[in-house]
Structure formats: C-alpha cells, structure tokens
Chain A
Amino acid sequence: MDLNTVWFALIAVLFVGFFFLEGFDYGVGVLHPFMSKDDKKRRVTINTIGTFWDGNEVWVLTAGGAMFAAFPHWYATMFSGFYMALVLLLLALIVRGVSFEFRSKDANPKWRSLWDWMLFVGSAVPALLWGVAVANLIRGVPIDANMNYVGGFFNLLNPYALLGGLMTLSLFTYHGALFLTLKTTDDILVKAQSIAQKLWLPTTILVFAFVIAGYFATDMFTRLGANPGVVPIIAGLALLLSGWFVKIRRSGLAFTMTGITLAASVVTVFIGLFPRVLVSSLNDAWSLTIYNASSSPYTLKIMTIIAVIFVPIVLVYQGWTYWMFRKRVSVNSELEY
C-alpha cells in the first residue's frame, strides 16, 4: 500500500471517529430542548456530552488538517467549492460551541432558552449539512480541468443531497437518543428510550431510501459491483438490529449497532470513492484522486511518522476520559454546564 492510500485510509478513520462521536453529540444537541421543560433536566442532557463534545469536535478539525496536509487539492477544491455550505457549517459550529459555556453562566430563563435553541440549531444544521456533503461527494460535482468547482451553492442542494442531509440528521439524532439511554437515569432515560424507539423506523427508511436513490444518482453500485462486500451489508444489518435491541431495552447493544452503522457507512463511502477523492460530474478525467491531489512523497512520509506516533496516544487519553466519566448523569450529579 502506498502512502497516498495510507492517508486516504487515515482520513477515512478520522471521519469514522468524527461521525461516531460527533454523531451522538449532534443528536443530543438536537434532542435536548425536547427532553424536558425543566432546566435541571435539560442540564442533565447537556452534561451527558459536557465532558466530551469539545474533544469529539477535534476529530473533524484533524480530518480537515489531514486533508490539507495530505491532499491539498482536495482541501482546496472542496472547501472553496462548497463555500456557502461551509460558511453555514462554521456559523452553526460557532454558536453551538459557545452555547455550552454561555448557557450555564447565567441562570436567567430567557438567556438559557436562547442558548438552548442555539445549541439545537447549531447541532441540527451541521447534522444536515454533513449528509448533503457526503451525498455530493459520491454523486459528483462539476469540477473543471483546473480542479475548480464551477457549480454554485444551489447545485449542492439537489434532491439526492437533501435526502442525504435528512438521513444524517435522522441517524445522528437516533444515535444521540441511544447515547442518552446509556448516560441518563429515571424519567430522562425513559424519554430517551421512547424517542429512540420512535426514531428507528424513519431513520431506517431514510437510510434505505438514500441507498436506493444512490443506485440512480451515483456510480457507487457499479463501483462496488454485484458483490458489494461485507461492509455495506454490515451497516444495514446493524441498523436493523439496533431497532430490535431498542425494543428489548438493550441500550448498550443498540448504541453499538448505530455506531457500527455509522462507521461502516463512512467506510463504504470511502471504498466507493477510492481512489477518487472528489468526483467530477463533467469529465471522469477531471476527478481528483489520491494521486493527482496529493502532497509530495516526502510530506506524506513525514506526516505518516507523526500520525503513527500520535494517533494511538490520542486514542488512549480520549478513551481514558470516557472511562473516567462513564457514570450516568442524573439531577443529583454534579452538573457543571
């Protein structure tokens, strides 16, 4: 395996981490205004991700940095091409990030309600936009011979992409509800369970609709072939199984299943793209690949050494914090946010 492939795989790993971790963060953010009207209980919801959200968000920052370092043309074409979508994403992430801190620092109910909705919008918009981005990635976007996107903003909002957006929004929210069933107690737990149960069917329908629409809108099926391999099948099966586990109240297993669905879906997308990183809808030859978009072998080598050393260290200490703060959160816990 050459270093270009290694970095393609590593960026896939970063996106797996991001979708898995920020997936439930976004989900909790979307759900929290609906979990309770009581401030203390809302705080319980927020505090379930209070310790982790910031560290989780770094996964996407690192993925962005890795794209820049390993595939500068991918970074340049995609970020300038998806310009307005990224502006919206950034604005959402900005208000979302401060809302954790700001909300807790003033007890005025109006103030808190304001930041509750900021957290909601700041979580829902990215959850939607990531699906739009993924759908456009696999569908292909108009990229010219000079690697420049020539589409405009509304080109990104095609029906297939919007379906993708609804799918990730729904999937993240479902994943978030399952996370809450693992991290809360009493009536908040019951509420989270009932929400998870209600979200399973629409989420499953949206995911399968997106897969079927993908048959018409993308070349994923022809690329994956008649035998798509185990990964996408695992993604689908895990999603179906999660519904069963929710029903029998096996929260841990249900959450593991949505985690597997998210991870396997991201891997499927990357397998389907390989070796391309941005598909040109104008001309196959104009697509960006891990070869024509990459950094020099020297830079890739340096970055590989650094990643091999530091990615495991990050995994260890982030894992440690999850272990450290593994206890369920209740109204009797010390709530910092």
Chain B
Amino acid sequence: MDALLLARCQFAVTTVYHFFFVPLTLGLSILVAIMETIYVKTGNEAYKRMAKFWGVLFLINFAMGVVTGIVQEFQFGMNWSEYSRFVGDIFGAPLAIEALLAFFLESTFLGVWIFGWNRLSPKMHAASMWIVAFGSNLSALWILIANSFMQQPVGYTIRNGRAEMIDFFALLKNGHVWVQFPHVFFAGICTAAFFVIGISAYHLMKKSDDRFVWQQSMKIGTIYGAIGVILVMLIGHSQAQYMMKVQPMKMAAAEALWESENPAAMSLFTIGNEKKREDVFALKVPGLLSFLAYNRFSGEVKGINQLQMEYEESHGPANYVPPVAISYWTFRIMVGAGMVMLLLIVFLLVALFRNKFDFKPIVFGVLLWAIALPYLANTTGWIFTEIARQPWAVFGVLRTEAAVSPSVSGGAVLLSLVLFTLVYGALMVADIYLLRKHALAGTAKLNFHE
C-alpha cells in the first residue's frame, strides 16, 4: 500500500472515530443543561438526579471526544503538510479561533460543572453547563467553517503558489456553512435524543426505580428528537439541493446517475458497474430526482459522464469521478436511518400525546437498539460528504494526492495507523463498558466511588 492511501485510511479512521463522540456531546450538553435548568426553576430533586445521571454519561463520552479531537488539530500538519502549506493561510484561522473561542470555554467550564455542585449557586452551576453546550456547538461551527472551505472554497485568491485569504467574512458567510452547520447541529440533537430515549426505554421496560425520571426523560427525549429529526431532514434536503449547484458531481454519485436526465429519475435501488459506468440492475421512480432537486417534476440533473467532460474542459484531463458505489450507499444508509428515526419519533409522539409510555418489551427493545441509528447516519453522512468530494481535498483547487506529506514514509503511516487503531479499539471497549455500566445502574448509585 502506498503512503497516500495509508494517510487517507488513517484520516478516515481517526476522523470517523472522533465523530462517534462529538454529536452526543453537542446534543446531550444542551439536554443536560435543560434538565438542570428545570431543576433550578422547579426545585424538584428528580430533575437534579436526572441531570446528574445523564451528566455522568455525558462526561464519559465527552472525554473521548476531547482526546480524539487533539489528533484532529495536529494531523493536518502531520499527514497533510502540503495541504497545510497550500491552504494554511485560510484553513489555520478557523482552527485557531476554534481553540481560542470554543475549546477554552467548554473545557474550563466543564471542570467548573464537575466540581461546582456545592461550590456554586444552583443558577451558576446550570449556567456553566449552558456555557459548555455553547462552547461545544461553537467549536462545531468553526470546524465546519473550515470544512466548508474544502467543500466550497470562497474568499481566497491563488497567490505566491498557495491559496491566500482575501475576505475573512466570506468564509463566515459561505452558504455551505449555513446548510452544513444546522444539519450537524440537529444531527447532534437526534443523537442525544435517541440516546436518552433508548436508555429510558430500557429502564421503563425493567421497571427500574425512579420511574418518574425515566418517564420524564422519555418525554423530553421525544420532544427533543422530534425537533431534531424533522429539522435534520428538512435542512438535509436543502443541503442536497445546495450541493446540486455547488458540487453536482457529489450528488450525481449519490444517485449513481451516469448520464444527464431531464426529467431525472431517482434510484431506489441500483447495482451498477462502476468501471463501465452503467446500471446492472436499477429500480427508479421517474421524475423524482428532478423534483427533489428543483421542487418540480422536470429539469435537467447532470450525470457523471457529462460532468466528467465538463471538468476535463475546465481543469484538464484527469479522473473527476468519486467512488460511486460508496457514495451511493452511504447516502442511502444515512437517509434510510433518518427515515426510520422519523417513524420511531412519530410513534413516540403518539404515545406522548396519550401520555402512556408502556409498550411491549419488543418495542422497548427496538427503542434501545435505535440508539445506533443516529450513529449510523452521522458516520455514513461524513463518509459520503468526504468521499464524494474526491478526487479533491479542496474542491476544484487542490487534489488529494497533492495534499499528502512528502516527508512521511508509508512505513511510518502504517505504524501509526496500526497504533491508533489498537489504542482506539481498546478505548472503545473501555468506553462502552463504562457507558453500559452507568446507564444500567440508574439513578440510585450516582456516587460511583463506593
């Protein structure tokens, strides 16, 4: 294996792994802050237990997100030094700002929250969790401002053999940020909601003590999840429409649309031949892709072959087609997981409306396993958005093979990839062990040193 492929594998492993933990941090920080605020407003001790119980799970998850995030900050320089040189004038700024504005805030006030239960007034204590939530989501915003530059470079000019920033505010106003950030933000809310719903469902099924906590958690999780799922899908839809304009090749790959069509049909299930760029078997709904793209049943959606020709004209002869099968399936798994989440939320909203959360054990079991759905969608979503941008690291500006570090050998990357994978694997075991242990223990033993 060559150094480039290994570096890409390592980026995929470390980034996908990091993003196992981030969405739960984003969503659950807000939820714990809400629970604690209810406690402060009502003085009902049950909400304090609730905030503490979900808070412990939040902390275990947060630690993993923080430490795997350090790798993110460093690995551009380590494995992608040419990338760092070429876009550092632009890309470094949001990363530095993220650390200065957001990392300091979230990590400092998380320490205050952990140690402040009896040292701060209840209001100040709840406020510190709101600050953590604000800091975490602010950090997501800045990292997505950075990522958006890779998806849709703006505010720069090529000068001195590199991309130089000419308009900082263009980076902030980049339309891509404002479809991507809300999508990620509400994905975080979905992740936290299904996490809370699943574990509450388990305790309701087992008829655990402190039923009030589980019932209320279930209610809060359902409302939170309804907001999250509906908005993540609506925004995801407008994001896809936006990508039709900005990166049409990405969407053509998502749909395995080889040739331009007008009106364009949407594939429900395609088995294709990527080399020959043709369908082997395809089940399609006529006109639907045009509708999704333009809100009407006509209009041309450009196909992969057409776009390849256009890029060859503008950027010179090369292959501009991303891996189609991966793009197609990750996109479908993401959307499919979203659909299932929506169905579950509708079902739970009906139960909430009837104020009855007593289901058959199988239903509780489904809800418990549904914790995995947002994780599946988050992961496939990121794999899709990064893979289907290939062969570009920065779309239209810098190809991935030109971004890799020339001074780092394949052997070194192989060694580091093995080390990261082993350590990450072991930590995942420890993390799940602790989450499971504390999730099952319920609210009775919140002092875990005994």
Chain A interface residues (CB < 8 Å from chain B): 43, 50-55, 57-58, 61-62, 64-70, 72-73, 75-81, 83-84, 86-87, 90-91, 93-98, 100-102, 104-107, 147-150, 153, 295-296, 298-299, 302-303, 306-307, 310-311, 314, 317-318, 321, 324-325, 334-336
Judge whether B101 is part of the interface by a CB distance below 8 angstroms: yes
Residues of chain A within 8 A of B160, CB atoms compared = 296
Residues of chain A within 8 A of B112, CB atoms compared = 51, 321, 324
Chain B interface residues (CB < 8 Å from chain A): 56, 59-60, 62-64, 66-68, 70-71, 73-74, 76-79, 81-82, 84-85, 88-93, 95-101, 103-105, 107-112, 114-120, 159-160, 164-166, 168, 405-408, 412, 415-416, 419-420, 423, 427, 430-431, 434, 437-438, 448-450
A91 to B103, CA, bound (A): 20
Other-chain residue from B63, B100, B405, B438 in contact with A80 (beta carbon distance below 8 A) = B405
- Residue on B nearest A318 in the bound complex, by CB: B108
A54 to B107, CA, bound (A): 5
User: Which 6 pairs of residues, A with B, have the shortest CB-CB distance?
Assistant: A72-B88, A79-B77, A68-B92, A65-B96, A69-B92, A97-B67
> Is the pair B103, A105 in contact by a Cβ cutoff of 8 Å?
no
> Is the pair A105, B93 in contact by a Cβ cutoff of 8 Å?
no
Residues of chain A within 8 A of B103, CB atoms compared = 58, 61-62
> Is the pair B407, A150 in contact by a Cβ cutoff of 8 Å?
yes
A75 to B81, CA, bound (A): 8
> Is the pair A298, B63 in contact by a Cβ cutoff of 8 Å?
no
> Is the pair A95, B115 in contact by a Cβ cutoff of 8 Å?
no
Residues of chain A within 8 A of B99, CB atoms compared = 58, 61-62, 64-66
- Contacts A72-B84, A101-B63, A106-B434; A310 near B100 (Cβ below 8 A): yes
Residues of chain A within 8 A of B430, CB atoms compared = 98, 102
28 pairs from A and B in contact (CB 8 Å cutoff): A54-B110, A57-B107, A62-B99, A67-B92, A68-B91, A69-B95, A69-B97, A75-B77, A75-B84, A77-B81, A83-B416, A86-B74, A86-B78, A87-B419, A90-B71, A90-B74, A94-B67, A94-B68, A98-B64, A101-B59, A102-B434, A105-B56, A107-B450, A150-B407, A296-B159, A296-B164, A310-B101, A318-B104
> Is the pair B88, A58 in contact by a Cβ cutoff of 8 Å?
no
- Contacts A50-B114, A306-B97; A83 near B78 (Cβ below 8 A): yes
> Is the pair A76, B427 in contact by a Cβ cutoff of 8 Å?
no
A62 to B139, CA, bound (A): 13
Other-chain residue from B79, B92, B119, B449 in contact with A75 (beta carbon distance below 8 A) = B92
Shortest distance between the CB of A88 and any CB in chain B (Å): 9
- Contacts A91-B419, A105-B434; A302 near B93 (Cβ below 8 A): yes
A298 to B160, CA, bound (A): 14
- Residue on B nearest A122 in the bound complex, by CB: B67
- Residue on A nearest B62 in the bound complex, by CB: A101
Shortest distance between the CB of B52 and any CB in chain A (Å): 11
> Is the pair B67, A62 in contact by a Cβ cutoff of 8 Å?
no
Residues of chain B within 8 A of A53, CB atoms compared = 111
A298 to B450, CA, bound (A): 57
Other-chain residue from A81, A94, A317 in contact with B71 (beta carbon distance below 8 A) = A94
> Is the pair B71, A79 in contact by a Cβ cutoff of 8 Å?
no
> Is the pair B412, A50 in contact by a Cβ cutoff of 8 Å?
no
Other-chain residue from A55, A96, A107 in contact with B449 (beta carbon distance below 8 A) = A107
Shortest distance between the CB of B17 and any CB in chain A (Å): 11
- Residue on A nearest B87 in the bound complex, by CB: A72
Given A75-B92, A93-B67, A105-B56; 11 other pairs, CB 8 A cutoff: A53-B111, A54-B107, A68-B91, A79-B78, A90-B70, A101-B62, A102-B60, A104-B448, A105-B437, A298-B165, A324-B119
Residues of chain B within 8 A of A51, CB atoms compared = 111-112, 114-115
> Is the pair B449, A335 in contact by a Cβ cutoff of 8 Å?
yes
- Residue on A nearest B438 in the bound complex, by CB: A105
Shortest distance between the CB of B178 and any CB in chain A (Å): 20
A75 to B91, CA, bound (A): 12
A202 to B72, CA, bound (A): 37
A334 to B448, CA, bound (A): 13
> Is the pair A54, B66 in contact by a Cβ cutoff of 8 Å?
yes
Other-chain residue from B105, B118, B164, B408 in contact with A299 (beta carbon distance below 8 A) = B164
> Is the pair B108, A55 in contact by a Cβ cutoff of 8 Å?
yes
> Is the pair A62, B104 in contact by a Cβ cutoff of 8 Å?
yes
Shortest distance between the CB of B14 and any CB in chain A (Å): 9
- Residue on A nearest B66 in the bound complex, by CB: A97
A280 to B96, CA, bound (A): 26
A93 to B70, CA, bound (A): 8
> Is the pair B79, A80 in contact by a Cβ cutoff of 8 Å?
yes
Residues of chain B within 8 A of A61, CB atoms compared = 70, 73, 99, 103
Shortest distance between the CB of B392 and any CB in chain A (Å): 19
Shortest distance between the CB of A138 and any CB in chain B (Å): 20
Shortest distance between the CB of A100 and any CB in chain B (Å): 7
> Is the pair B100, A62 in contact by a Cβ cutoff of 8 Å?
yes
Residues of chain A within 8 A of B115, CB atoms compared = 50-51, 325, 334, 336
A80 to B76, CA, bound (A): 9
Other-chain residue from B63, B100, B450 in contact with A311 (beta carbon distance below 8 A) = B100
A91 to B78, CA, bound (A): 14
> Is the pair B434, A65 in contact by a Cβ cutoff of 8 Å?
no
Other-chain residue from A55, A69, A81, A104 in contact with B104 (beta carbon distance below 8 A) = A55
> Is the pair B88, A69 in contact by a Cβ cutoff of 8 Å?
yes
Shortest distance between the CB of A123 and any CB in chain B (Å): 14
- Residue on A nearest B159 in the bound complex, by CB: A296
> Is the pair A76, B88 in contact by a Cβ cutoff of 8 Å?
yes
A70 to B89, CA, bound (A): 7
- Contacts A68-B92, A97-B67, A321-B111; A298 near B407 (Cβ below 8 A): no
